[in-house]
Amino acid sequence: MTDAATRADDYPSRVSGDPARSTRLDPVVHGSPGDGPLSPGALASFERDGFLVCEELLDPDEAASLLADVRRLTTDPGVAASERSIVEPNGGAVRSIFDVHRRDPSFVALAVDPRLLGIARQLMGSDVYVHQSRVNLKPGFRGQEFYWHSDFETWHVEDGMPRMRAVSCSVLLTENHAWNGPLMLIAGSHRWYVACVGETPDDHYQQSLRKQEYGVPDDASLTRLTEEGSIEVPTGAPGSVVFFDCNVMHGSNGNITPHPRSNAFFVYNSVENALVEPFGGRAPRPEFVASRDFSPVASGGGR
């Protein structure tokens, strides 16, 4: 790997006492209309906003089956005790289970589903591999918030992702209402890179996956992004899928309603954007958080 002390870094962060904002240097959409299922209008929408909602891309029965698998996993004591499982900061409820695309048959199949892969490949303009996978749960009444952040800032600093050429895919397994802590995104924020303050501690992932404290943007930058864009809340029925750019600013409120929220989450990174040594100068995060198997995902037959 390249020596972190001598290589150029187009997206420095956590190296200064002052926050900074710079223009994105990478394309948003790398493919073309003929490269996959998305229309020119859908590609233009993703380019403009940084995200795209595909309503009921999976049918309701598929989503219900996957939700049953999530419940099975979260009630398995071995899974709950694993280092791959993250619990709520205020209690023992499971918040996320990582690396599901390698370990559970249902999510192995979902990760290679051509309905997801076709869109990811078209947006990235190349073959892709799974950088990260997990199932996310936000229980009713006490599901905690997750503060605003750009995934790319973390993946660049802590994992060594060189460029903004990855897309996240959130598969809704429960109804996402405006009131049960759904994903929120700042439309248009992906066009800017916000450098954060604070030096990253060793083994930061152990805390950041429960509550983000480093790699958090400053209030002034967030205010400016929302003034220039808008906060959007993509609600939808089970089986809907939200694709969003790796650099779009996003977060979620807490869930104080009786209605839990669950989704399956995959990050598809271009095989031409494989990880290098982390730009933050720390050891790479574990394989179950940031994969270093860059083998292209081969399409399966769907579920």
Q: Residue 303's pLDDT is what?
A: 37
Q: Measured between alpha carbons, how far is 290 from 160 in angstroms, rounded to an integer?
A: 9
Q: Which of 159, 101, 97, 164 is nearest to 129 (CA)?
A: 101
Instruction: Walk me through the domains of the chain, giving residue ranges and CATH numbers.
Output: 36-273 (2.60.120.620)
Q: What is the pLDDT of residue 188?
A: 98
Encode pLDDT of 56-108 as tens digits: 999 999 999 999 999 999 888 888 889 999 887 766 678 899 999 998 999 99
Indicate the pLDDT class of residue 299, thresholds 50, 70 and 90: confident
pLDDT, averaged across the chain: 92
Mean pLDDT of 16-32: 96
Task: List phi, psi (to 5°) of 186.
Answer: -95, 105
What pLDDT, on a 0 to 100 scale, did the predictor assign at position 100?
96
- Name the H helices within the chain: 40-49, 60-74, 77-81, 100-103, 105-111, 114-124, 151-154, 205-208, 219-228
Instruction: State the pLDDT at residue 120.
Output: 98
Mean pLDDT of 138-161: 94
Please, which pLDDT band fits residue 293 given cuts at 50, 70 and 90? very high
Give CA separation, 249 vs 27, 55, 142, in Å. Answer: 17, 22, 24
Contact (Cβ atoms closer than 8 angstroms) between residue 124 and residue 26: no
Q: How confident is the model at residue 1 (pLDDT cuts 50, 70, 90)?
A: very low
| CA separation for the pair 95, 74 (Å, rounded) | 9
pTM of structure: 0.93
The pLDDT value recorded for residue 91 is 63
φ, ψ dihedrals at 116, nearest 5°: -85, -45
Percent of the chain with pLDDT over 70: 91
Say whether pLDDT at 184 is over 50. Answer: yes
Strand partners, 195: 20
- Residues 129/268, Cβ–Cβ less than 8 Å: yes
Per DSSP, the residues of 251-277 read EE--B-SS--EEEEEEEEEEGGG---S
* Residue 224 in tokens: 């400016």
Query: How do residues 196-250 score in pLDDT, each as one tens digit?
Result: 998 877 665 555 555 556 689 999 999 999 999 999 999 999 999 999 999 999 9
